[in-house]
Amino acid sequence: MRTALGAALLLLLAGCGRGEFVGEDKGVTENQIERLSTPEVEPASDASASARLQPLRPSDPIGEVASGGCDFSANGRMVMVSTATDSVARVNGELLHLVLAAPIDGTGGFFEDRQISISVGRVGQAGADRGAGRWPARISVTNRRTRAQTRLDGFWRCEPLIEQP
């Protein structure tokens, strides 16, 4: 009885799907199969891309924010601007409007939305350009979902000039 049941099960399994994948033309091209198959070598992905700041563009709507607020710049390019009511940054190609999680001042600030949190803080006196109200600072961006984090050194500037010791 067991032998007959085992043989019947083997025949059933052998007949299932037979010929579906071998030698029959189902309208699938080799290109489609190649695109859907697992590559031999997995390409390296950049895990920090979801938390990487990008320079703000001249076309970004930051005019009202840039006047009378604070900004962070790195490598001569502005990457974030903030006032008491709005903060703007470009992360992973997307322009984000962040809310203040704490008051901003000449020492830095903390900003967030549902996906990103940004922390800015001064890192010392060396290299300060007090005439322009610029202080050496570091910005940290964290993607709250993926936990990816990036840091960038640059300058924090507030207008009107807020003197800090």
Measured between alpha carbons, how far is 61 from 103 in angstroms, rounded to an integer?
22
Query: Where in the chain are the domains?
Result: 2-36, 49-158
pLDDT above 50 (res 26): yes
H or E stretch at 7: helix 2-15
Which pTM was predicted? 0.65
pLDDT above 80 (res 19): no
Q: Two tokens at 96?
A: 């984000």
pLDDT above 60 (res 60): yes
Antiparallel, parallel or unpaired: β 94-100 and 87-91: antiparallel
pLDDT above 80 (res 163): no
pLDDT bucket at 55, cuts 50 / 70 / 90: very high
- Nearest of 130, 134, 140 to residue 157 by alpha carbon: 134
pLDDT bucket at 18, cuts 50 / 70 / 90: very low
Query: Mean of the pLDDT values across residues 103-122?
Result: 90
Average pLDDT, the chain: 75
Q: Two tokens at 49?
A: 């891309």
Query: Mean of the pLDDT values across residues 74-92?
Result: 89
